[in-house]
Every structure is written in C-alpha cells, then in structure tokens.
C-alpha cells in the first residue's frame, strides 16, 4: 500500500507500505478507516406504541466525517533525517490535505479524499534513526473518489459532436453513445463504477444568447438558465446545488435547479439544448463511501 499526502505549496509526503531506501516514512500498521464506512448519521424516532423505531428511508441513511488513522515510522540514517521527515508531515498543519491511497498490485491510481490532519510522534530511538507515531486525517466529506476523471463533452446547436464521451487520457469511452439531431441537442453518457452516488461538475461555456438547459434524459429534470455565458464558463456543482461564474455565485440566475447525479454502478445520460456557440463539459469521478 502507498499513501500520498498532498497540500498546496508543499512537497508531497509519501508513506510506503514497506521500507525503501533511507530516509522514508513507513506504515507500521494497517490503515484504519479508509475502506470502512464512517459513523452513521441517521435520525431515528422511537415508536410510541410498539417495538423499535419508525422506518428510515434510503435518503436518510447518511454518514459522518471519515477519520483515517495511519501508524507510521520515520526512518533515516541520522537524527536530522528523521526530524526532516517529521517536519514534512507537521508542515501540513492548518491546511486542507489530499490523502490518496493506492493498493498493492493495483493498476489504478487509487482513491482520494480531502481533510485535515494531526500528527503524533513518540521519542526518537537511542540511535536517533527512527521514531514511530500516528497520523490522523479527518475528511469532512466522507466520499472516496477515483483518480480517473470521466469527461463528457457536448456542443450546442448544429456544431454538435453528438456527445462523444472521453476519459482523462482523451480516449473514447465504450460503449459509444450518440445524441439526436445535432441541430436540436447533444447527448453524453457519464458512468459511475463506485458504490455511492456520484455528483458531476458541469461547465457551460461559449455563448448561447437564447439560454441553455442541461437535462437528465431519464427523468426529464433540468438545470437551465437564460443567462448567456459570454465565453466566461458557468460552473455547476451538482452536489452543492450551486452555480459559479468567474468565482462569483450566480445560482440565483438559474431558472431550474434540478441537479443530476449518477447512482452507484449506474450511468447518467445528459442532453444539452443551447445555441450553436455553446459548449458543455461534464466531469465525474467513481465515488465510494
């Protein structure tokens, strides 16, 4: 197993599953809390007459933050090397930290989440070449996301490419899905191979003076606006239900706010209705809880 901690402005910190060339950080115990479900956050109401509580709907089965605990040892040739390793972790205080875990033998890039950490260190050994400790990472959003981003591209009006879907390397996704008439709308299909609901990010760019709409083909529900992007992309965060343009919240300018999601192991087919100058890029990650 390989664990990589990243923070803006700092070098990545790598924790190895087994000793490598000195100096290095080595995991000393199983990483706890990464593959387990976080604590449940489910409201329950006791039955006044009868056994147990009232039934809970699927939508009410929620989870709290994810807490990940990593047993670690800092190993180096001398005391200065050990202190340098400890310092690389301690420097991530007061920052949001991205944690990525890659399994041994995995051909994928692992899964990642974002949180904040606390490092605890014991005393150095007598030789001054090793210290053991633990790193705790608390992720307010408990979802684990794949490192592979799924991308769908659509073009409005007659300029449509019929909604071909590409992966992060620009390879065409399979099976290929084609849209309807290019003069009317463009379609794309986004998948989620994870075990939890995935929420895409949608960027509306180019120009569409007559407005635009992104519709979930299966339900007919749409996110739409009469606002022309005017070559300054409007970014829709489907999980938070917000729209931003140039860093400014423009959610109030949406006419419809039916933000789409992708169920676990499922697919989402979207349709763009817009003028010929409009572009739409949809990105999504396989999602796990």
What is the dotted CATH code of the domain comprising 148-288? 2.60.120.860
Every domain range in the chain assigned CATH 2.40.30.200: 2-142
Is pLDDT of 143 > 70?
yes
Question: Do 166 and 153 touch, CB atoms closer than 8 A?
Answer: yes
Every domain range in the chain assigned CATH 2.60.120.860: 148-288
Confirm whether pTM is higher than 0.75: yes
Q: What is the pLDDT of residue 181?
A: 37
Question: What digits encode the pLDDT tens for the residues 13-66?
Answer: 999 998 887 799 999 988 999 999 999 999 889 999 889 999 999 989 999 999
Which CATH fold topology does 2-142 show? Elongation Factor Tu (Ef-tu); domain 3 (2.40.30)
Is pLDDT of 176 > 50?
no
Residue partners of 280: CB distance under 8 A and separation at least 6: 153, 154, 155, 156, 186, 202, 203, 204, 205, 212, 214, 272, 274
Q: What is the pLDDT of residue 185?
A: 59
């Amino acid at each position: 197993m390989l664990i990589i901690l990243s923070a803006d402005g700092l070098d990545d910190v790598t924790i190895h599953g087994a000793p490598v060339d000195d100096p290095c950080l080595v995991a000393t115990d199983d990483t706890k809390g990464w593959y387990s479900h976080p604590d449940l956050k489910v409201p329950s109401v006791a039955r006044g007459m009868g056994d147990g509580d009232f039934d809970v709907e699927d939508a009410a089965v929620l989870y709290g933050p994810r807490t990940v605990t990593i047993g670690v040892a800092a190993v180096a040739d001398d005391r200065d090397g050990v202190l340098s390793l400890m310092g690389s972790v301690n420097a991530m205080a007061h920052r949001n930290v991205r944690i990525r875990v890659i399994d041994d033998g995995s051909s994928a890039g692992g899964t990642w989440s974002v949180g904040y950490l606390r490092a605890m260190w014991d005393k150095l050994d007598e030789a001054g070449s090793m210290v053991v400790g633990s790193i705790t990472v608390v992720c307010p959003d408990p979802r684990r996301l794949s490192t592979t981003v799924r991308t769908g591209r659509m073009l409005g009006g007659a300029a449509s490419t019929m909604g071909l879907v590409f992966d992060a390397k620009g390879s065409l996704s399979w099976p290929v899905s084609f849209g309807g008439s290019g003069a009317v709308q463009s379609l794309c299909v986004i998948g989620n191979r994870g075990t939890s609901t995935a929420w895409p990010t949608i960027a509306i760019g180019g120009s569409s003076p007559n407005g635009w709409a992104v519709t979930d083909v299966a339900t007919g529900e749409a996110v739409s606006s009469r606002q022309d992007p005017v070559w300054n992309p409007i970014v829709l965060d489907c999980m938070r239900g917000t729209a931003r343009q140039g860093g400014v919240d423009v959610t109030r300018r949406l006419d419809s706010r039916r933000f789409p999601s992708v169920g676990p192991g499922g697919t989402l087919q979207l349709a763009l209705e817009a003028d010929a100058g409009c572009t739409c890029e949809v990105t999504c990650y396989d999602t796990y809880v």
